[in-house]
Structure 1
Amino acid sequence: MDTAPLYMDTGSAMGVQIPTAGAGNTMRDAKTTQTVSAPTKEVHVEDFLSRYATSVRPGERVSFGTYFNAFPASYWRRWTTVDSVRLSVATSGAGAVIVYKSNARGALQRVDSVRVEGDAVSNFDLSLTPFGDGGWYWFDLVAGSAPLILQGAEWQAEGDFKKPGTITLEITTLNKTDFCINNLRLLAENPQALEHVKELILVDQGTQKVADAEGFAEVADALAGKLRIINQDNLGGSGGFARGMYEADKNGSDYALLMDDDVVVEPESIIRLLTFADLCKTPTIVGGHMFDLYNRTVLHTFGEVVNPYSFQPDLPSGEMTLGHDFVGSNLRHTGWMHRRVDVDYNGWWMCMIPTKVIREIGLSLPVFIKWDDAEYGLRAKAAGYPTVSMPGAAVWHVSWIDKDDLVGWQAYFHARNRFIAALIHSPYEFGGKVVRQSYAFDVKHLVSMQYATAQGRIMALRDLLRGPEQLHGLLPGKLPEIRSMMSGYSDSQFSSDPDSYPAPKMDKPPKRGHGVTPPSYVGLLPWAAKTVIRQLSLPVSDSSKERPQTNVAHQDNRWWRMSQYDSAVVSNAEGTGASWYKRDPKQLRTMMAESAKLHAALLKDWHKLSTQYKNALSEITSIAAWEKTFEAHSEKSEN
């Protein structure tokens, strides 16, 4: 029931219309901007008859203009050989089937309708010609004086199509046995999704083996011999996903479908990705979207690009919303979602890559985690292979809003791998603003008393400057090295007991009773300079060494706030614990100087490093190079 709005919509038939010359579906006043959605009627669980059938109550109307049931026509028109589709709707009872479409602005239009009675199959032949920049097709059902039953519906295309391709579905896991067993069970219960899956590979890099988990034998039997487990050392996400690519090419599959372990999959997505990829004009990477696992109707990302100047992940359009909730605004009322979104890459929470592409451009960069998916999409794009983030195919995954992977051990990989990708792909001299922005990040971490994170980023720059030849060798040992380093910093030592730290006490009350407020844009530079000078020179009081000045919730952990304290207990993103941040002027001076020195060296050697990483790319991502790494770090026994 949590996900019902993604499948059925009981709101008004047309909802809020977007004016011909209007700007969108928003209502504005002096203080707020609010997306409008039509009122909906309650959805009843007893109306759901099966995965494909439902009942519409007498006199009521249900729309299938929803995320999982509407047809994203513009994507099929742009990327595939399909130029028309047939909507086939099987019903029982009396009522009407009404077909709608939208354009790229989200304006809705009625296309056709038919009255039905008894057992009926209604077919609608629909052209894809008008969907150049965006738009969807969908249908509504209206019941008469008795229930109208939807027996099933399909979007079909005619033509002399080739035999469906074969998939190797690979899941990389590290001690997520419950998630893995659940997804294996979901797949086993939906055999139609596995019809063209040649092999389901679980690359287990953890110490808690999935094969030893309760319920494994049962799901393994249900998968009828398609499941194979590969045990290898922890080579990170890139090592696990590269193994999936390697095995897909080795066993002759047409596609490698990469999937995270901590997800809940919609099995129908596998069929949709395969059908779309088979019909693409050229070999195309096709990925699914990501919904929030803990807030099931929230679509976390609809598509991503890499901003070439800042070299950071970005949204393709300023109209898009990160974290869109379909309860607040359904598909028919969300104008920006009707425009086709073209992307640079798709996250590897669910992404299908043709093995033809793998053979031509290689496997993942050996970078453990972070930026492997984005770099691969950019590499494929440079070779002429596009990526499509396909609406209607998705998984539920823990969103990074509920994580803080820019702080802690992952900061090393964020910093180093972003630079590697920029050295290879940035179109700007010296990588645009990536170097100066990186130094600004270091300063923010340091004035926030996040010394472990800053040290990890310094380690990243040192390794980056050593060149690309070492990357494979760093895969198994870098994470333990980082964790060992971080154990020496109080800001990375967490306690789950709130009473384990002394009660906070301020040396003096806040000015005029107000807490810390952010600086104005105009006064930012002088304020920041004054703050850095204070942190570098002013000694820490004895009382702040003995007890924290305040407790800071994770969402309030901002650099401009933290820089005003000498000591604070800060909660982590997961809410499972807190750590004690302590200002250390000596450490600050040393680390800030080293960061400046390393960034200067990076700027000085940018062109030389860029040439080195570009020249090494084909070798370090090659099947042969990864094969050596797998041989060195795989366990001999495979299930």
Structure 2
Amino acid sequence: MTTDLSPGTPTVRRVLQRFVLPADRDLDVVPLYVDTEGVQLDADREMIGTNKSAQKVNKAASRQAISSGTALHPDAILDRRRLRVEESQRISLGTYFNGFPAGYWRRWTVVSGVRLDITLSGVGASVIVYRSMANGRSQRVDGWTCETSGPSAVSFDLTLVPFVDGGWYWFDVVAGDEPAVIEEATWSAEVPADRAEPGTVTVGITTMNRPDFCAALIGQIGADDDVRSVLDEVLVMEQGTNKVVDDPGFAKAEGQLAGKLRVIEQGNIGGSGGFARAQFETLKAGRSKYVLFLDDDIVAEPESILRAVTFSDLARRPSIVGGHMFSIYAKAQLHSFGEIIDRNRFWWMTPKSAEEQWDFGARNLRSTRWLHRRLDVDFNPWFMCLIPTEVVRAVGLSLPLFIKWDDSEYGLRAQAAGFPTITLPGAAVWHIPWTDKNDALDWQAYFHQRNRFVAALLHSPFPHGGRLIWESLNHQIKHLLAMQYSTVELRHRALVDVFGGPERLHDELGTKLGEVREFRTQFTDAQVSSDPDAFPPVRHSKPPRRGDTSEIPSRPTQLVSAVLGGLRQFRAVRSLSREFPESNLPTMDARWYRLATLDSAIVSMPDGTSAAFYQRQPEQFRDLLRRTLEIHERLYREWPTLSQRYRDALAEVTSPETWESTFIASTEGRQ
């Protein structure tokens, strides 16, 4: 549905975004709200040209920190919406949470112009309004100077017309000879009268043995009066044994929500089972315009919920609106600005025009060109994702995938039905970053592999899945050369189960995790220990020819390692390696091309808590390689018919009726 503001259309003014400050004065997150640094815009890539060396230098330079060490004093934050600016100080609100992402509002909503309203105290204090273009260059738009010591209000009417490709609005405040105070600031717009009232939302949180995180999150939601006003219900899908209701902070959080909290106990049917339950209960209640997914182990910025709801209310057509993820450990670091699916590889990725792991504390928004270009996405991860119930009715509930690819598949399914996904700047949570997890090698490797292929069978535009089968085979060989036999076996079993068809997905949802974990325990590379003395010391029959191997080799050198590593599988292992490891590799150095040169090694896990003893097993290598080649050949041969089989079953597999049976069976198994 598209609505244009034609002459005579009844309108009302609605607040789109409010000036906001950190709730707890956490200095680590201040750069996301207030910027005390200057501007050093990085070089335009068009001026760099096609020279590869120049491009590499520019890429490195664009990531260099420009912070001069200035910082906002915690006492300057008077409350959530009031900020003191010391005399002669200049601060900018061209930040992640307080800049206005005009390009997104221009592209996806019915809003054609915004008004910035500011209330400021302090004689001689100035407000300067800026805008940026999609290439990051900024322009001064307007300004105003406060002439009284008491609060004075000013408004700026701003068009969204020149923001087709991206760009932001923001304002700076410069104090005069006395401190100034930003008393309030809002961005608002004239919108159709039938969109004046905010849509209400049901929040769905899936939790599994994280009672402290989950209780804290419920408290963050319930503590904000404005957020509570748009809530119909907060649903907590309890799938663990260490329950949120038993956490010391739960009672207070429950009281804040004043009857709007419901805990639903069900078996451990994964994130997809928990979020599908939230969709199911929201449809069943028939009250909410939206269902909002939140991970249980996040820290939320409650204002993000209001922004997501407002944006979706004013969208040109029903749209999924998601938030960004910042690291819970490095709180000014953005994980990704948006996610797309490479249809040829069928893998999620950040678009080439953006950067991953961006630290706003090192380089601010105003100094970073790529952040001003609008980024269009295929899906939004479900750590924070708002889905209209109209979309759920049209395309169904989540696929029963347990974990991995449920969110990306849903985005592609919605996109195919005409419902876009927007990842909205200024809406975000803090979460453990993927880079600190071990999900490509541990039991989750099964779900990565199986669910990726299921999603590709449903949505790949290529008759044999593009490069997916070849890439999967390539990864299997790398894991084999790296002595990661448990990972290879899990990925192999995943592909065997793909042939089982879509009918098995619901039946195995509650049992597959246990099977996978039990199966994995038989492999030495999966037997980890946190005790540093659990493994024997490194010992060689003769010292290695090369000492330090921490440098990343060239691609030709890696290919040589692959060939030699393959040939080594037809040679007997060194006898001493059965008892003693030949190397002790930290996780950042444990790459396949290094492990391929060894007969054994102690390898630490990415989370830093434990390590495992890898040992080369030539017979196992050859058996796994043979089976891997066979199953990938079969995948290629049967892809067209298997793809059609999954596509034909999609509507039934994701229907509320099918899911209801799974919920009932899950609950019965829990009793």
- Please state which band the TM-score falls in when normalised by the shorter chain: over 0.9
Q: Contact conserved, 1:97 with 1:114, CA < 8 A, in 2?
A: yes
Distance 1:152 1:637, change over 3 A: farther
Partner of 2:28 in structure 1? 2
Counterpart of 1:579 (choices 604, 612, 621) is: 612
Residue of structure 1 in register with 2:71 after alignment: 42
From 336, 351, 368, the counterpart of 2:385: 351
Question: Equivalent residue for 1:241?
Answer: 275
Deviation, 1:23, is 5.3
Q: Is the Cα contact below 8 Å between 1:447 and 1:563 reproduced in 2?
A: yes
Equivalent-residue separation in structure 1 for 2:58 and 2:272 (angstroms): 48
State the match for 1:60 in structure 2.
89
Consecutive unaligned residues of structure 2, counting only runs of 5 or more, are 1-26
| Contact 1:552–1:570 under 8 Å retained in 2 | yes
Shift of 1:20: 11
- 2:319 maps to 284
**Which shifted more, 503-512 or 591-600?**
503-512
1:141-180 map, 5 Å: 141-159=173-191, 160=193, 161-180=195-214
Q: 1:42 offset after TM fit, Å? A: 2.1
Q: What pairs up with 1:216-365 in 2 under 5 angstroms? A: 216-252=250-286, 253-316=288-351, 318-365=352-399
Match of 1:424 among 453, 458, 462: 458
In 2, Cα distance between the equivalents of 1:158 and 1:394?
A: 26
Shift of 1:506: 2.3
SS at match of 2:464: helix
Q: What SS is found at the alignment partner of 1:295?
A: coil
Query: Out of 593, 602, 624, which is 1:591 matched to?
Result: 624
What's 1:110 paired with? Answer: 140
Q: Residue 565 of structure 2 contacts residue 596 of structure 2 at CA under 8 Å; is this kept in 1?
A: yes
Letter aligned with residue 617 of structure 2: D
1:613 matched to 2:646? The reply is: yes
Once the two structures are superposed, what CA deviation does each residue of 1:252-286 show, in whole Å capped at 9, x if it has no partner?
21101001111100000000000000000100000
Structure 2 counterpart of 1:82, from 90, 101, 111: 111
Q: CA deviation at 1:500?
A: 1.0
Structure 2 CA distance, aligned partners of 1:616 and 1:357? 19
Write the distance in 1 (CA, Å) between the matches of 2:423 and 2:594: 38
Q: Which residue of the other structure, out of 130, 142, 148, is the alignment partner of 2:162?
A: 130
Deviation digits for residues 216-262 of structure 1 (CA, Å, limit 9, x no counterpart): 12211121011100010000111011111111111121101001111
Distance (Å, rounded) in 1 between the aligned partners of 2:598 and 2:417: 50
Q: Offset at 1:17? A: 7.7
Match of 2:635 among 602, 605, 622: 602
Give the secondary-structure state (helix, strand or coil) at the position aligned to 1:158: strand
Give the Cα separation in 2 of the matches to 1:246 and 1:631: 12
For 1:12-23, what aligned pairs fall within 5 Å after superposition?
12=38, 14-16=39-41, 22=47
Worse overlay, 208-217 or 384-393: 208-217
Of 268-277 and 27-36, deviating more is: 27-36
Q: Secondary structure at the match of 2:387?
A: strand
State the match for 1:553 in structure 2. 586
8 Å contact from structure 1 (residues 27, 35) kept in 2: no
In the other structure, the counterpart of 1:33 is 61
Larger displacement relative to structure 2 (136-145 or 583-592): 583-592
Q: Secondary structure at the match of 2:335?
A: strand
The Cα shift of 1:428 comes to: 1.3
| Aligned counterpart, 1:194 | 228
Question: Aligned partners of 2:259, 2:75: CA distance in 1, in Å?
Answer: 36
Number of paired residues?
634
Q: 1:486 aligns with which of 520, 528, 532?
A: 520
String of CA shifts for 1:1-28, please: whole Å, max 9, x gaps. Answer: 110000000112x54486797459x998
| Counterpart contact for 2:276–2:398, Cα < 8 Å | yes
Per the TM alignment, residue 505 of structure 1 is displaced from its structure 2 partner at its CA by 1.1
Trace 1:452-467 onto structure 2 (pairs within 5 A): 452-467=486-501
Q: 1:539 to 1:20 in 2, by over 3 A?
A: closer
The alignment yields a C-alpha RMSD, in angstroms, of 2.0
CA offset digits 1:372-422 (Å, max 9, x no partner): 000000000000000000000000000011012110100000001111111
Per-residue CA deviation, residues 288-329 of structure 1 (Å, 9 max, x unaligned), is 00001100000001001000101111222x231100000111
Letter of the 2:606 partner, please give it.
A
Assess, with a 3 A threshold, how the Cα gap between structure 1 residues 302 and 38 changes in structure 2: closer, same or farther: same
Within 1, Cα distance between the matches of 2:499 and 2:60?
48
Aligned to 2:11: none
Classify 1:285/1:19 alpha carbon distance in 2 versus 1 (closer, same or farther; 3 Å): closer
TM-score (norm. length: structure 2): 0.92
The normalised TM-score by structure 1 is 0.96
* Distance change (3 Å), C-alpha of 1:140 and 1:327: same
Q: Percent identity?
A: 47
Q: Which amino acid aligns with 1:136?
A: W
Q: Identify if the C-alpha distance between structure 1 residues 636 and 184 changes in structure 2 by more than 3 Å, giving closer, same or farther.
A: farther
SS of residue matched to 1:270: helix
Ranges in structure 1 where 5+ consecutive residues have no aligned partner: none
Instruction: Tell me the distance in 2 between the aligned counterparts of 1:31 and 1:21.
Output: 13
Q: Which amino acid in structure 2 is aligned with residue 369 of structure 1? A: I
Query: Judging changes above 3 Å, is the alpha-carbon distance between structure 1 residues 214 and 454 closer, same or farther for their aligned structure 2 residues?
Result: same
- Look up the match of 2:660: 627
SS across alignment from 1:296:
coil
Distance 1:149 1:636, change over 3 A: farther
CA distance in 1, matches of 2:56, 2:393: 52
- 8 Å CA contact retained: 2:128, 2:173: yes
Secondary structure, in 3 states, of the residue corresponding to 1:560? Answer: helix
Provide the C-alpha distance between the structure 1 equivalents of 2:45 and 2:541, rounded to a whole number of angstroms.
Answer: 61
Distance in 1, matches of 2:221 and 2:40, equals 36
Whole-angstrom CA distance in 2 between matches of 1:131 and 1:341: 13
Show CA shifts across 1:475-520 (max 9, x none): 0000100111111111111111111111111232222545376654
3-state SS of 2:119 partner: strand
Check the 8 A contact 1:27/1:34 in 2, yes or no: no
Partners of 1:541 and 1:19 in 2: how far apart?
A: 55
Does the residue aligned with 1:258 lie in a helix, a strand or coil? strand
**Counterpart-to-counterpart distance in 1, 2:196 and 2:93:** 30
Contact (CA 8 Å) 1:507, 1:549: kept in 2 or not? no
Equivalent in 101, 119, 140 of residue 172 of structure 2: 140
- For residues 43 and 415 of structure 2, the distance between their equivalents in structure 1, rounded to whole angstroms, comes to 35
Take 1:546 and 1:281, find their aligned partners in 2: how far apart are those partners?
66
1:487-566 to 2 correspondences below 5 Å:
487-511=521-545, 513-515=547-549, 520-522=554-556, 524-525=558-559, 527-535=561-569, 537-566=570-599
Mapped pair 1:402 → 2:436: yes
> Distance in 1 between the 2:69 and 2:271 partners?
41
Contact 1:350 1:394 in 2 (8 A): yes
Paired amino acid for 1:401: T
